[in-house]
Structure 1
Amino acid sequence: MQSLPKIRPTLIALVLLLSGCTAGGGVPQSGPHLSPTECRDLASLRRNAPPTMAQHASELTALRKAGYNPSPWNDPYYPEDLEAAQRLVNSWFDTECQQFQPG
């Protein structure tokens, strides 16, 4: 029990670090999630325009912001994790990109 006081600061720091990682989830809580460029590119992709590499890059950036991690290794949660990220990006698009939606 004498070693507990020595490791207590380390344990407290570890708990604070881990709680910070899980609390935010890696997704910003305030402000817009999508940039104007991402809104424009996602709108173009929704209109079935011929896609460019830049538009695909914008789409991938938005999906990563939504928590999707395209791993080169076998992902046991694919395609569920991709579909969940797509739903979140669609929600962000609907609320943040009105100027790019057909009126």
Structure 2
Amino acid sequence: MGTTRKRWLIAFAAASLLGGCAVGEMPPPGRYLTDRECHDLTALRTNASPTMAEHQSELAALRKAGYDPSPFWDDPYYPEDLQYAQRLVDYWYQHECVPTRIP
């Protein structure tokens, strides 16, 4: 594989991971969570073997709630800031996500 092609693939993979977005969709007006995030959060709460996409969707929701996982080694507010973001995402989930069955 050529060097240029390899660099493009690495750059694309890094951008996808750093973006933290499940599919890059925007939430409906007046909501914080997208339909995909609601679906994936429901799956995480019910499935025994979650997928990487579901974890990435959860991370995207936590980032929206203000959590930044990058400085975990020197974050004086860890784990309180993570727990706060989790509570906020749980609140959004309870108020925005219509209970659905996961196929």
TM-score in terms of structure 1 length: 0.65
Q: Which runs of 5+ in 1 are unaligned?
A: 1-29
Cα deviation for residue 49 of structure 1 reads: 3.1
Structure 2: gaps spanning 5 or more residues:
1-28
Identity %: 62
Question: Over the residues paired in the alignment, what is the CA RMSD in angstroms?
Answer: 2.1
Counterpart CA distance in 2 for 1:66 and 1:97 is 16
> In structure 2, what is the equivalent of residue 51 of structure 1?
50
CA distance in 1, matches of 2:99, 2:83: 25
Equivalenced residue count is 74
1:57 counterpart letter in structure 2? Q
Are 2:63 and 1:99 equivalent residues in the alignment? no
Taking structure 2 as the reference length, the TM-score comes to: 0.65
Distance of 1:55 and 1:37 partners within structure 2: 9
Report the counterpart of residue 42 of structure 1 in structure 2. 41
Structure exhibiting the larger radius of gyration computed from Cα positions: 1
Which secondary structure does the structure 1 equivalent of 2:99 belong to? Answer: helix
